[in-house]
Amino acid sequence: MPPRLGSAPPRLAVAPVDAPGKDQERNRFHPYRAWYKLKEWRDLRWATLVRDMFTCQMCGKVEGDTSKLVADHDKPHRGDRALFFDPNNLKTLCASPCHSKHKQAMEQAGEFR
């Protein structure tokens, strides 16, 4: 008797490396974005979250799910490696709404230039 079930598609698909996309285009113009993938950054991000006790420094919300927290650069680094990895230039923000809405609006209004 032949099997009644076909093969299932993989649960997690990996995008091809050369697939065009918004991130790939942005990375070409901002090579420092690769720094976010370094172990040095991951360790610094974790140290920032621990230092700030997993608390958003803008709204005061304590968040146990670290995927919902951002180690945010207080002063924009604009590719300056020393400023990028400066622990005194980082603070914890909740990803939404503080980082994705409020902080981005402040940056676009020119408050951090």
For residue 70, report the phi and psi dihedrals to the nearest 5 degrees: -125, 135
* 70 — pLDDT class (breaks 50, 70, 90): very high
Cis amide linkage into residue 76, ω under 30° from 0: no
Contact 52, 71 (CB under 8 A): no
Q: Which of 17-21, 55-59, 93-97 has the lowest mean pLDDT?
A: 17-21
Q: How many residues does the chain have?
A: 113
Per residue in 25-67, pLDDT tens?
A: 655 657 788 999 999 999 999 999 999 999 999 999 999 999 9
Within the chain, how many helices (H) and strands (E) appear?
4, 2
Q: Spell out the domain ranges in the chain.
A: 23-108
Per residue in 77-92, pLDDT tens?
A: 888 999 999 999 999 9
